[in-house]
């Protein structure tokens, strides 16, 4: 049996709820061997971030070269890329190593709406990373930053998804978790716009859902699934992981990554 390999390129969450840690837990849940490239170190817990230390761009490149020279990377995902220089080197090495099946989670804005990237880094994300992506998974604020337009309604979400694909991505999943009412994401694969409806889960606050979703999509692609199937399975996994999220720590709940993904046999491909 050949074990599929997935790569996460993201920041470290010392609290274990998001970032590299959430990605690797998700890969394991899907029966995928996880590899990693760290772009930033954070001092954080369930209550918040207290410090950030960026990794030097040349060391980010060295990590990516080391992984790609030894493993066949069936799929990859990006998370927190932090600044323009890191985005540039990540895009360069992804092209150099011909890494396909790339899921771009454009970590550009916090759930509060606070912007996490400088303007030059936002432009670099748009110009360098989106054309490499099989799918981009922005929240509403990130979709606004990428498209420079309001994204507050379902119609605007659909327009943003189309705009992101026009920028070079093969597909876009605009996440509507911040909308009032039912939880609706908008998916566009370059041909058809679909609204993906899910129940709104009554959990006060969770941490790491976006990281987990993008990692789950990458894991599905690594296992050879279609993009549609990978998205649907990832959404179902995240929904169940939120529903069963444990109260660990004194702040937001981390997701339960120990559950079995729907339709996935972890012992075979």
Looking up residue 103, the CATH number of its domain turns out to be: 3.40.1190.20
Tokens 């529903």 belong to residue: 243
Q: Determine the structural domain holding residue 236 and report its residue range.
A: 5-140+206-254
Using CA atoms, how far apart are residues 79 and 19, in angstroms rounded to an integer? 7
Is 177 a residue whose pLDDT tops 90? no
**Picking from 76-90, 107-121, 217-231, which range would have the lowest pLDDT averaged per residue?**
107-121
Taking all residues of the chain, what is their mean pLDDT, rounded to a whole number? Answer: 92
- What's the mean pLDDT in 180-184? 78
Using CA atoms, how far apart are residues 45 and 18, in angstroms rounded to an integer? 10
**pLDDT value, residue 30:** 97
Q: Indicate whether 191 belongs to any domain.
A: no
Q: Indicate whether 171 belongs to any domain.
A: no
**pLDDT value, residue 117:** 79
Q: Indicate whether 146 belongs to any domain.
A: no
Q: How many domains, in total, are found in the chain? A: 1
* Residue 145 confidence class, pLDDT cut points 50, 70, 90: very high
Q: Strand 75-78 and strand 102-104: pairing?
A: parallel
- What's the mean pLDDT in 87-94? 98
Other beta carbons within 10 angstroms of residue 9's beta carbon come to 28
Picking from 11, 239, 188, the residue whose alpha carbon sits closest to that of residue 105 is 11
Q: Indicate whether 186 belongs to any domain.
A: no
Contacts of 72 (CB under 8 A, 6+ apart): 5
Q: Which residues pair with 44 in a beta bridge?
A: 49
Q: What is the pTM of this model?
A: 0.95
Q: Indicate whether 164 belongs to any domain.
A: no
Q: Indicate whether 57 belongs to any domain.
A: yes
Using CA atoms, how far apart are residues 29 and 128, in angstroms rounded to an integer? 30
Q: Indicate whether 145 belongs to any domain.
A: no
Q: Indicate whether 14 belongs to any domain.
A: yes
Run of H or E residues at 240: helix 227-243
Is 71 a residue whose pLDDT tops 60? yes
Picking from 229, 164, 150, the residue whose alpha carbon sits closest to that of residue 196 is 229
Return the percent helix, strand and coil in the chain, to nearest 5.
40, 25, 40
């Amino acid at each position: 049996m050949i074990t599929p390999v997935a790569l996460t390129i993201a920041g470290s969450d010392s609290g274990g709820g998001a970032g590299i840690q959430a990605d690797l837990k998700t890969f394991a849940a899907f029966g995928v061997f996880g590899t990693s490239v760290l772009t930033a170190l954070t001092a954080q817990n369930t209550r918040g971030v207290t410090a950030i230390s960026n990794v030097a761009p040349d060391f980010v490149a060295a990590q990516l070269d080391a992984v790609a020279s030894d493993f066949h990377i069936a799929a990859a995902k990006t998370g927190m890329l932090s600044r323009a220089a890191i985005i540039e080197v990540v895009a360069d090495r992804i092209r150099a190593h011909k890494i396909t099946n790339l899921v771009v989670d454009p970590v550009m804005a916090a759930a509060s709406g606070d912007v996490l990237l400088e303007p030059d880094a936002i432009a670099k994300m748009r110009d360098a990373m989106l054309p490499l992506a099989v799918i981009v998974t922005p929240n509403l604020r990130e979709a606004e930053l990428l498209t420079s337009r309001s994204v507050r309604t379902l119609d605007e979400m659909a327009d943003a998804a189309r705009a992101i694909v026009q920028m070079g991505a093969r597909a876009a999943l605009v996440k509507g978790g911040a909308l009032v009412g039912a939880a609706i994401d908008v998916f566009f694969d370059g041909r058809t716009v679909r609204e993906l409806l899910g129940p709104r889960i009554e959990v006060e606050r969770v941490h790491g859902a976006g990281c987990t979703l993008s990692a789950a999509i990458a894991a599905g692609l690594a296992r050879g699934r279609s993009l549609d199937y990978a998205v649907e399975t990832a959404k179902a996994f995240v929904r169940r992981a939120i529903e069963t999220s444990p109260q660990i720590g004194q702040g937001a709940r981390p997701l339960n990554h120990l559950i079995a993904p729907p339709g996935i046999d972890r012992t075979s491909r």
